[in-house]
Amino acid sequence: GVCNGSEVRLVKSPRKRIAFPEKPKWNPKDSAQMSIVKEALHVSSAPLAIVCREDEQKRVFEFCKTSIEEERGGSLYVCGCPGTGKTLSMEKVMQNLLDWVKEMLEVYQPLKKVNRASSALHHLQKLFSQKKQSSTEKMMLIVADELDYLSTKDRFVLHDLFMLTSFPFSRCILIGIANALDLADRFLPKLQALNCKPVVVTFRAYSKDQILGILRQRLAALSFDVFNPQALELCARKVAAASGDMRKALCVCRSAIEMLEELRDASSTMNFLQQENTSLAQPNSSAAECFVKRENNIVRVDHMALALARTFKSTIVDIIQSLPQHQQIVLCSMVKLFRGSKNYTTVGELNRFYIELCKSSHIPPAGFLETSNMCRVLSAQLNRFCVLLIL
Ligand SMILES: Nc1ncnc2c1ncn2[C@@H]1O[C@H](COP(=O)(O)OP(=O)(O)O)[C@@H](O)[C@H]1O
Ligand SMILES: [Mg+2]
């Protein structure tokens, strides 16, 4: 296929390319090396190759290629959870398509490429305003990323966008990319009724092995070992279990490197203090103490475990902080109730704890019905907590 790596000629990527200078050995104290490693793992750095998404890319490429060859419009709906490589893969497909038909296509990405936004908007307005598209028009590829933001209550915008591709003389190919999986369930039936149902390409969450493969591939560009293999595996396993979000896997790896730096700094301070024979060494630096004796130039499993705990803990805190005030109070009441050996309760008992807590904080409590509704909402959220807390 045309998407086959060996046959693809690269045009200039819109993302930053990383140049990896030849370095024989990883030295975390070398700030230049440290920044190369961090950049290789940065979400905004384009990897040298995209692994695991060959089939999805091929499907989208072939769809667009056929539409162009047959000179007819069509639409694709690309969906998958955040961090499943949708944007990255579609950028690659566009590169390949552009390469294939340099002159025939005009590529519009109004939401991303600011310099093209005004002309893209202009073209879209023209498309929407004209009653009928002429069959002599050039073929046009519209890539609408983050489609979720266009999901208004009535979804007129989304419907109109997909309708553009279904007119008899349409020259538009639309690739709509969305994160919310249920968006498809909510609006595809309507599109079907309007006779413009798109072809759906689903990006499934990455598995443990896929995350591991992608991380290894990104790190292979470096000529030194940064991670202990078990540390990488731990990261891949935990992230796959939580969400399969590649962005998260990259963030955890970067955070693990920061952990190595922090603990190394802490341990070298300790060394210094011990050498100086002062009594300043803090009692809570015993964790750092055990790192002094160990290998200090590689990201180990313990660094990764700390990074994972830090990343996923902050997610829980974020979720709790984003809850409405009364749901937070209900949650506090639950914690208070279940602190002892108790492991079940009734809504009535929980309500009593809730009212008590409200009174002690001088907040007027909500009614019983509302409290039981809040419990229902929270129990849906708690399923997510459990997944995170197991980590
Ligand atoms: N198959 C892959 N190979 C290399 N890096 C990947 C891959 N999939 C995702 N990534 C990286 O993960 C991050 C999120 O990918 P992105 O395409 O933006 O996800 P989405 O658009 O699905 O939310 C990016 O930094 C990207 O480089
Ligand atoms: Mg995206």
pLDDT confidence band for 268 (50 / 70 / 90): low
Place 388 in a pLDDT band, splitting at 50, 70 and 90.
Answer: very low
Judge if the beta carbon of residue 86 lies within 6 A of ligand 1.
Answer: yes
pLDDT at position 280 is 43
Please determine, for residue 82, whether its predicted confidence score (pLDDT) is greater than 80. yes
Q: Which ligand sits nearest to residue 146's alpha carbon?
A: 2
Which pLDDT score is estimated for 116?
Answer: 52
Look at 26 and 352; give whichever has higher pLDDT.
352
Alpha helices in 323-367, H assignment, sequence order: 325-338, 347-360
Rounded distance between C-alpha atoms, residue 80 and residue 78, angstroms: 7
Pick from 189, 190, 177, 196: nearest CA to 77: 177
**Tokens at 332, concatenated:** 């506090």
* pLDDT at position 158: 83
Residue 109's H or E segment, with its range, is: none
Where do the structural domains in the chain lie, given as residue ranges? 5-49+207-315, 54-203, 323-390
- Residue 13's pLDDT is what? 47
Residue 323's pLDDT is 81
pLDDT for residue 276 is more than 70: no
pLDDT at 275 over 80: no
User: What's the gap between Cα 125 and its chain centre?
Assistant: 31
Give CA–CA dist 160/176, Å, rounded.
12
Tens of pLDDT along 53-80?
999 999 999 999 999 889 889 999 999 9
What is the CB neighbour count within 10 angstroms for residue 84? 26
The pLDDT value recorded for residue 386 is 45
230-255 average pLDDT score = 95
Span from the CA of 63 to the centroid of ligand 2 (angstroms): 20
CA-CA-CA-CA torsion for 140, 113, 86, 17, nearest 10 degrees?
120
Task: Report the distance separating Cα 100 and Cα 173, nearest Å.
Answer: 15
Contact status, residue 350 vs residue 375, Cβ threshold 8 Å: yes
pLDDT at 348 over 70: yes
Q: Is 210 in the pocket of ligand 1 (CB under 6 A)?
A: no
Give the residue, 137 or 368, on which the prediction is more confident.
Answer: 368
Decide whether any atom of ligand 1 lies within 6 Å of the 199 Cβ: no
Q: Is 244 in the pocket of ligand 1 (CB under 6 A)?
A: no
pLDDT at 344: 79
Asked if residue 373 has pLDDT above 90, the reply is no
Q: Give me the pLDDT at residue 265, please.
A: 73
Name the residue type at position 360: S
User: What atom in ligand 1 is closest to the CA of residue 15?
Assistant: 27
pLDDT tens by residue, 176-214: 999 876 777 777 888 888 888 899 999 999 999 999 999
C-alpha–C-alpha distance, residues 304 and 3, integer Å:
35
CATH superfamily, domain at 54-203: P-loop containing nucleotide triphosphate hydrolases (3.40.50.300)
Residue 18 pLDDT > 70, yes or no? Answer: no
With a cut of 80, say whether residue 119 has pLDDT above it.
no
* Choice among 36-50, 244-258, 287-301, 304-318 with the minimum mean pLDDT: 287-301
Taking the CA of 112 as reference, the closest ligand is 2
Model confidence band, residue 272 (pLDDT cutoffs 50, 70, 90): low
Expressed in angstroms and rounded, the spacing between residue 123 Cα and the centre of ligand 2 is 23
Question: Which stretches of 79-202 are DSSP H helices?
Answer: 86-100, 114-129, 156-163, 182-193
Q: SS3 of 367, please?
A: coil
| Whether pLDDT at 281 is above 60 | no
243 by Cβ neighbours in 10 Å (0-12 / 13-18 / 19+) ranks as: buried
Q: Position 190: which residue type?
A: K
Q: Which residue has the higher pLDDT, 168 or 122?
A: 168
pLDDT band at 390 (very low <50, low <70, confident <90, very high): very low
Task: Enter the tokens of residue 71.
Answer: 């000179």
**What is the b/e burial string over 28-38, where b = at least 16 CB atoms within 10 angstroms of the residue's CB?**
beeeebbebbe
pLDDT at site 5: 40
Instruction: Give the C-alpha separation, 67 to 75, whole Å.
Output: 10
Please give the Cα distance from 92 to 99 (Å, whole number): 11
**What pLDDT sits at residue 79?**
93
User: Which residue, chain included where needed, has tokens 């100086």?
Assistant: 276
Residue 80 pairs in a beta bridge with 203
Average pLDDT over residues 127-138: 65
How far, in Å, CA of 304 to CA of 211, rounded? Answer: 15
Q: Which residues contact 146 (CB under 8 A, 6 or more apart)?
A: 111, 177, 178, 179
User: How are strands ordered across the β-sheet holding 199-203?
Assistant: 106-108, 140-144, 172-178, 74-80, 199-203
Are the beta carbons of 48 and 81 closer than 8 angstroms?
no
Residue 173: is its pLDDT beyond 80?
yes
